[in-house]
Amino acid sequence: MPGIERTLSIVKPDGVEKGVIGDVLTRFERAGLKIVAARMVQLSVSEAGGFYTVHRERPFYGELKEYMASGPILVLVLEGENAVTMTREIMGATDPREAAPGTIRADHAESIERNVVHGSDSPESAAFEIPYFFPEIEVYSY
């Protein structure tokens, strides 16, 4: 279907800890995105590093890996029209101080690291991130 995309989203350890999984899922579903895969997992530091390998040269990489491995996360595949952009709009800017009012990060995030959710930043990133967690057979088509 033209325009239909998939993107990877994660409710990060702070989002799970704060009890906002339901709120995050509701916002995605209300926007018309379908949850086509979901899994709760606690990553090892090295698994978190593999996921964020694109940031391996950045000064925050070490802390980011540790943080993402610090508790359970909910990993999701979302499907819908312009799913990558749509998900990023619903989440708001990476830094919650810059996130538009009414977005997930404006409402729930406390810092750039503890920013509640992740979403693929492009279809190319989604093409790497989705199979990092889900084999094709675990992503539903309905």
Q: Give the residue numbers annotated as catalytic, written as ranges.
A: 118
What is the smallest separation between the CB atom of 82 and ligand CMP, expressed in angstroms? Answer: 18
Element (H, E) at 95: none
Q: Which stretch binds ligand CMP (CB under 6 A): 30-38, 40-48, 96-104, 108-116?
A: 108-116
Q: Is 120 in the site for ligand CMP (CB under 6 A)?
A: no
Q: Is 47 in the site for ligand CMP (CB under 6 A)?
A: no
Pairwise CA distance, residues 14 & 114, whole Å? 6
Pairwise CA distance, residues 75 & 7, whole Å? 11
Q: Is 93 in the site for ligand CMP (CB under 6 A)?
A: no
Pairwise CA distance, residues 3 & 90, whole Å? 18
Nearest CA-CA partner of 8 in 137, 103, 134, 105: 134
Q: Is 99 in the site for ligand CMP (CB under 6 A)?
A: no
Structure tokens at 30: 């209300």
Q: Which stretch binds ligand CMP (CB under 6 A): 19-27, 43-51, 110-118, 131-139?
A: 110-118
Q: Is 94 in the site for ligand CMP (CB under 6 A)?
A: yes
State which of residues 39, 50, 53, 60 lies at the interface with ligand CMP (CB under 6 A).
Answer: 60
Structure tokens at 31: 């926007």
